[in-house]
């Protein structure tokens, strides 16, 4: 009618640009997802090897989302225990992980349900401003609280990772920690480099105990001869 019916119709060039933008975002998503998966696998392998080397119970927990935090805390608790320090890193990490993850999930579900209720209940009239704002503020405050808990968990994880570096490569602990915090995938790679270092193997521990027992026997024999 107006002669401009196809004015807003996309041209071939615009379609190519749109497809290119979509492909770029898809590629970025695949790269990020791949890096996340690689990081998860390397972390799991490293924690499993370190826990198995130090005879921490149930090293398979390294492969599960929340139990991996328990295992990480258990490794550090074992190290602290050898130094005469009594802490409960495993309990702290697991509690923060569960509370923050479940809290954020529940808050988002409540937000989604609230949007649906408002959309279907107030189709012809405007929703009441006061209750709506109060509901939004409660959800917003809840998200802030659970985000702070998630940040606290991240700080605890950094401390625990540093203690693992300290117990395996003490001279490189600070450097490894900075690399882990600043460069993607550096943390899992540093952990993998530490997986075979630190405490001696069980058979080495038995050998050391055997040597100590021999020295004790020799000392006892010497005392008997002098007496």
Q: Domain for residue 53, yes or no? A: yes
Query: What integer best gives the mean pLDDT of the chain?
Result: 82
Q: Domain for residue 80, yes or no? A: yes
Q: How far is CA 172 from CA 42, 48, 79, 194, 197, in A?
A: 20, 21, 17, 10, 12
Q: Domain for residue 208, yes or no? A: no
Secondary structure in 3-state letters for 85-116: CCCCHHHHHHHHHHHHHHHHHHHHHHHHHHHH
Kindly tell me if the per-residue pLDDT of 199 is higher than 80.
no
Give the model confidence (pLDDT) of 39-97 as tens digits: 999 999 999 999 999 999 999 999 999 999 999 999 999 999 998 988 899 999 999 99
Structural domain tally of the chain? Answer: 1
Give kind and range of the element (H or E) at residue 195.
Answer: none
Question: How confident is the model at residue 9, as a pLDDT?
Answer: 52
The two tokens of residue 183 are 């460069």
Residue 85: name the closest of 192, 167, 153 by CA. 167
Instruction: Identify the burial level of 185 via C-beta atoms within 10 angstroms of its C-beta, where 0-12 means exposed, 13-18 middle and 19 or more buried.
Output: middle
Give the model confidence (pLDDT) of 27-55 as tens digits: 988 988 889 899 999 999 999 999 999 99
Q: Domain for residue 209, yes or no? A: no
Question: pTM to 2 decimals?
Answer: 0.76
Q: Domain for residue 162, yes or no? A: yes
Kindly tell me if the per-residue pLDDT of 224 is higher than 70.
no
Q: Domain for residue 137, yes or no? A: yes
Q: Domain for residue 125, yes or no? A: yes
**Residue 155 sits in which domain range?**
14-202
The Cα–Cα gap between 209 and 200 comes to: 12
- Report percent pLDDT > 70 for the chain: 79
pLDDT tier at 201, thresholds 50, 70, 90 = low
The Cα–Cα gap between 177 and 171 comes to: 12
Q: Domain for residue 88, yes or no? A: yes
């Amino acid at each position: 009618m107006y002669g401009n019916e196809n004015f807003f119709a996309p041209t071939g060039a615009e379609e190519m640009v749109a497809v290119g933008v979509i492909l770029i975002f898809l590629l970025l998503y695949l790269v990020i997802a791949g890096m996340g998966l690689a990081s998860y696998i390397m972390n799991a392998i490293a924690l499993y090897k370190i826990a198995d080397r130090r005879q921490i119970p149930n090293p398979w927990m390294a492969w599960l989302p929340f139990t991996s935090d328990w295992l990480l805390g258990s490794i550090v608790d074992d190290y602290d225990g050898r130094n005469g320090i009594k802490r409960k890193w495993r309990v702290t990490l697991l509690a923060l992980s569960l509370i923050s993850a479940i809290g954020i999930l529940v808050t988002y579900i409540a937000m989604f349900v609230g949007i649906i209720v408002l959309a279907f209940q107030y189709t012809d009239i405007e929703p009441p401003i006061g209750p709506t704002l109060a509901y939004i503020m409660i959800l917003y405050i809840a998200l802030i609280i659970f985000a702070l808990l998630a940040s606290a968990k991240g700080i605890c994880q950094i401390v625990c990772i540093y203690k693992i570096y300290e117990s395996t490569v003490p001279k490189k602990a600070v450097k490894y920690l900075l690399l882990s915090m600043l460069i993607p995938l550096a943390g899992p790679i540093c952990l993998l480099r530490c997986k075979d270092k630190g405490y001696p193997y069980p058979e080495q521990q038995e050998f050391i105990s055997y040597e100590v027992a021999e020295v004790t026997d020799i000392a006892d024999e010497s005392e008997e001869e002098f007496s």
